[in-house]
Amino acid sequence: MSTEFDVIVIGAGPGGYVCAIRAAQLGMKVACIEKRETLGGTCLNIGCIPSKALLQSSENFTEAAHGFAAHGIMLEGVTLDLARMQTRKTEVVTANVRGIEFLFKKNNVTWLKGAAKILGEGQVSVDDTTYHGKSIVIATGSESTPLAGIQVDEDRIVTSTGALDFPAVPGHLVVIGAGVIGLELGSVWRRLGARVTVIEYLDRIVPGIDAEIATAFQRVLTKQGIVFKLGQKVTGATLTDAGVTLTMEPAKGGTATTLEADRVLLAIGRRPHTEGLGLAAAGIATDARGRVVTDAHFATNVPGIYAIGDVIAGPMLAHKAEDEGVALAEMLAGQKPHINYDAIPSVIYTWPEVAAVGATEEDLKAGGVAYTVGKFPFTANGRARAMGSIEGFVKILADAQTDRLLGAHILGPDAGGLIAECVTALEFGASAEDIARICHAHPTLSEAVKEAALAVEGRALHI
């Protein structure tokens, strides 16, 4: 097998595999090195895809058990077959990772199995073989951030990986961290019958999300039975015969308390995954948080070595990693692609969902930007009423002088789908009035976006 390539990508997650495919499409000879047994990275194997499979299954279970009666559909004796649900999740993951294998073959990307080590400019080793690449791309992703005093065993005390694989519904699941992972996976197990308590260091949930949306989101999750303990710092966890005893104290200082759990999910963020990659020996610079430092063209300080995805700065999202993979491949081919980091959407796949793009109200206040707000609740949307999903609202933020769209924030049914329109509008520099004047089909949830845009000028029609 050849050891000479135009591009060698390290890591086959959404950043790496997409970069490899795009580079191959552009005529380059490409290899992608992956140390996991399967392609697809965190996202396909232990992240986006398995979590969404379980979110869908658990939502279906909740609907069947509690939601159908309101529609006059009477089901009796709805029971959970968790083993079948987990098998389905695995089938979904397997189909997806096989899909990447197919795409690699179709595009002539060479899949090199094993852990890569960068030897220096243009050289990477896997086991005892040295490969040469004109360009090397670091796309090694991220891993769960540890917490002092908490020993993860992926059984009683787990990261997201363990929480995707519980063999039985925990009696009491305690989640450390009210971020995206904590609330998505907390929702899964709550829906399947667990008592769920979420402990958060800050005095609010989902930092980074517009505060008004976050407050409403917390209210909805609380109604669903999730208990929040905010402003609390977990200081230790002890395994007991029955489960785990957690110790915590108020973040601002105060008396320590304990909490008993059957299982604990640690979800306080993710950190760059660069262990064993040989960054220091190769002289590749990292920042204080361990992220590989790159310029606007994804170049590290070492010529010919680039980095993309979770391992560099920016939101740790699959679509951000993918877009960087495409952009880098095109740059290597001499093209001039561009990523607008102000228009990267984020979605929390709970029910209702949370979706956002652009600035939050807090961002605008901090930046001294004069803005107008338009809001529209799903209670006033006909389709949401027909669905029986009336929680939440759409919030549009526009420039007070120009009416240009600055941000959109949605808590509600299919918020993740609805945000796409706002992403397009933001990317095209649209005004709130542009959205308001576009014809939206009736009855659809998207009318709530149009009405929120109308509300920016105080002329919503249905409220």
Cα separations in angstroms, 358 against 67, 220, 253, 343, 381: 34, 23, 35, 6, 24
Question: Of 99 and 276, which has the nearer Cβ to ligand FAD?
Answer: 276
Stretch that binds ligand NAI, among 6-14, 195-203, 209-217, 219-227 (CB under 6 A): 195-203
Q: Which of 397, 395, 396, 393 is nearest to 412 (CA)?
A: 393
The order of strands in the sheet holding 244-250 is: 232-239, 244-250, 257-261
Q: Which two tokens stand for residue 391?
A: 């929680």
Catalytic site residue 442?
A: yes
CB of 92 to ligand FAD, least distance (A): 13
Is residue 276 at the binding interface for ligand FAD, with CB under 6 A as the rule?
Answer: yes
In the complex, the smallest distance separating the C-beta of residue 9 from ligand FAD, rounded to whole angstroms, is 9
CB of 302 to ligand NAI, least distance (A): 27
316 scored as a contact of ligand NAI (CB under 6 A): yes
| Residue of 66, 71, 297, 442 marked catalytic | 442
For residue 178, the one-letter residue type is A
21, 112, 347, 415: residue in contact with ligand NAI (rule CB under 6 A): 347
Q: Which residues contact 41 (CB under 8 A, 6 or more apart)?
A: 11, 12, 13, 14, 15, 16, 17, 34, 47, 141
Cβ contact 386:413 at 8 Å: no
Binding status of residue 445 toward ligand NAI by CB under 6 A: no
Q: How far apart are the first and last CA of the chain?
A: 67
User: Is there binding between residue 178 and ligand NAI (CB under 6 A)?
Assistant: yes
Q: Which residues contact 302 (CB under 8 A, 6 or more apart)?
A: 120, 121, 282, 283, 284
Q: Which of residues 253-272 bind ligand NAI (CB under 6 A)?
A: 267-270
Looking only at residues 352 through 391 of this chain, which bind ligand FAD when binding is defined by CB under 6 A? none
Residues 6+ apart with CB under 8 A from 290: 271, 272, 274
Pairing status of strand 129-138 against strand 305-307:
parallel
Residues numbered 117-176 forming contacts with ligand NAI, rule: CB under 6 A: 147, 176
Of 5 and 351, nearer to ligand NAI (C-beta) is 351
48 binds ligand FAD (CB under 6 A): yes
- The answer to whether residue 460 forms part of the interface with ligand NAI (CB under 6 A) is no
Give the number of residues written for the chain: 463
Nearest to 199 by CA among 154, 162, 147, 152: 147
Concatenated DSSP letters for 138-189? E---EEEPP-TT----SSSEE-HHHHT--SS--SEEEEE--SHHHHHHHHHH
46 binds ligand NAI (CB under 6 A): no
Residue nearest ligand FAD, CB atom distance: 141
Whole-number minimum distance, CB 270 to ligand FAD, in Å?
7
To ligand FAD, the closest distance from the beta carbon of 100 in angstroms equals 11
Looking at 30, 126, 169, 181, which residue binds ligand NAI (CB under 6 A)? 181
User: How many residues in the shown chain lie near ligand NAI by CB under 6 A?
Assistant: 27
Q: Which does 233 bind (CB under 5 to 8 A by kind): ligand FAD, ligand NAI, none?
A: ligand NAI
> Which residues, 6 or more positions from 448, have their beta carbon under 8 angstroms from its beta carbon?
376, 377, 378, 380, 381, 384, 393, 394, 410, 412, 418
- Residue 348, interface with ligand NAI (CB under 6 A)? yes
Closest contact distance (angstroms) between CB of 246 and ligand FAD is: 21
Q: Which of 180, 448, 449, 460 binds ligand NAI (CB under 6 A)?
A: 180
Q: Which of 406, 413, 430, 414 is nearest to 357 (CA)?
A: 406
How far apart are alpha carbons 89 and 181 in whole angstroms?
A: 17
Quote the least distance from Cβ 317 to ligand NAI, whole Å.
5
Give the binding site for ligand FAD (CB under 6 A).
10-16, 33-36, 41-43, 47-48, 51, 115-116, 139-142, 160, 181, 273, 276-277, 309-310, 316-319, 321, 349
- Residues with catalytic function: 442
By CB under 6 A, name the binding residues for ligand NAI: 147, 176-182, 184, 199-202, 207, 233-234, 267-270, 315-317, 346-349
